[in-house]
Structure formats: structure tokens, C-alpha cells
């Protein structure tokens, strides 16, 4: 069972600046992640990876530095304006995918099968809601 009760600030190990940035990223992700996924899941091939990363980022059992890195990648994903605006079909999400995939590649051992199972379940519920 995923333990999603804690926030990025529950543990120590980050510098004050890193902690502040992580807190901003966490708030941005909490506010905007699900709306962005609902709006884009059908169009992006990395939706399952993004949702699994979300669950790993909020999982208290994921190491703090991993959570902070995933939170930063997810915060970038939900930014309305980034290097390649998402309004451009197909290529608009390439920078988002690149950032998220780079984070996942570095942290792959921390995004567990349990996070992917939770992601598939969540995406299935979203699909049912929009059907």
C-alpha cells in the first residue's frame, strides 16, 4: 500500500534552498497535476509514467532526494509555458517527456511496480469518467 500522507518537507536531508524549491514544486504539482493529466492523457504516450512518477513523488517510502527530483520534473510537466509550448500538436510535449524520462531513467529503481499499478488504476478511472 502506498503511503501518500506525507509531504516533501516531512524529512530532512535537503538544504534550505532545496527544501524551499521542493515545497514550491510540490504545491504546483498538487494544484495542477490531475487537471493536466485529464486534459492530456489521451494525447501523450508517457501518461502512465507521469502518473507513476506522481505516486512515487508523494510516497513517503520514496527517498527524499528522489521525491524532490520527481516533484521538479512533474512541476515542469504542468507548467503552462515551457521550452516547447504544449499547444503544438505532438512536438509540444517532447520537452515534457524528455524531462520526465530523464528523471525516471536516473531514478528508475524508486518508481516501483506498485506505483505503476496505482497509475494504471488512476488512468482507468479517468478514462471511465470521460467516457
Query: Under a CB-based contact definition with an 8 Å cutoff, are residues 10 and 58 in contact?
Result: no
Each as own residue / partner, the long-range contacts of residues 87-95 (CB below 8 Å, 24 or more positions apart, any chain) are 93/40, 93/43, 93/44, 93/46
Query: Given this model, what pLDDT does residue 15 score?
Result: 84
Reported as a single tens digit per residue, the pLDDT across 77-90 is 887 654 445 455 55
Residue 89, pLDDT score: 53
pLDDT tens digits, residue range 7-60?
554 445 778 888 888 899 999 999 999 998 898 888 788 889 889 999 999 999
Q: What is the pTM of this model?
A: 0.76
Amino acid at each position: 500500500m502506498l503511503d501518500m500522507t506525507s509531504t516533501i518537507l516531512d524529512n530532512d536531508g535537503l538544504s534550505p534552498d532545496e527544501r524551499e524549491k521542493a515545497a514550491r514544486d510540490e504545491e504546483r504539482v498538487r494544484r495542477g497535476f490531475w487537471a493536466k493529466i485529464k486534459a492530456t492523457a489521451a494525447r501523450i504516450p508517457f501518461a502512465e509514467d507521469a502518473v507513476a512518477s506522481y505516486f512515487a513523488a508523494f510516497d513517503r517510502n520514496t527517498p527524499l532526494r528522489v521525491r524532490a527530483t520527481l516533484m521538479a520534473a512533474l512541476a515542469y510537466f504542468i507548467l503552462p509555458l515551457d521550452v516547447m509550448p504544449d499547444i503544438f500538436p505532438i512536438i509540444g510535449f517532447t520537452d515534457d517527456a524528455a524531462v520526465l524520462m530523464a528523471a525516471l531513467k536516473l531514478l528508475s529503481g524508486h518508481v516501483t511496480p506498485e506505483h505503476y499499478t496505482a497509475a494504471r488504476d488512476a488512468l482507468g478511472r479517468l478514462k471511465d469518467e470521460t467516457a
